[in-house]
Amino acid sequence: MITISNAVERKNSDGETFVALILTGQVEMVKSKQGKFYATVRKASVPSTLDIELAKGMIGQKMNGMIIKKPCDPYMYTTQSGEEIELEWTYEYTDQAANFSEEVFS
């Protein structure tokens, strides 16, 4: 299950405004390079055809699906501490889990 955690306005390459939903996955524990665990969540942005008021009204709604880690071309990312790192993956929404349970119970 994922949760709609925010709705934001963005611009496409033509300068047109659209609304994106920010989706948040479940809490997961990750081990740092120093061997200590910390809690984190995966987030993904999904474009929509909704207006901003309707999209913001959906915040908190739960949906089927999951956020997966997907390989991509390398890019630079600035962490919250200001450190720049190169990443070769991104997070993406998939309804894979929803489709799997539909197939099992059909």
Task: State the Cα torsion 100-102-104-106 to the nearest 10°.
Answer: -150
* R_g of the chain computed on alpha carbons: 16
Q: Are 71 and 87 contacting, i.e. CB atoms less than 8 angstroms apart?
A: no
β-pairing, 62-63 vs 66-78, is: unpaired
pLDDT at 15 over 90: yes
If one counts every other C-beta atom within 10 angstroms of the C-beta of residue 59, the result is 13
Cα distance between residue 85 and residue 77, in whole Å: 5
Report pLDDT for 16.
Answer: 96
* Residues 34-51 pLDDT 10s: 899 999 999 999 999 999
Q: pTM of the predicted model, to two decimals? A: 0.78
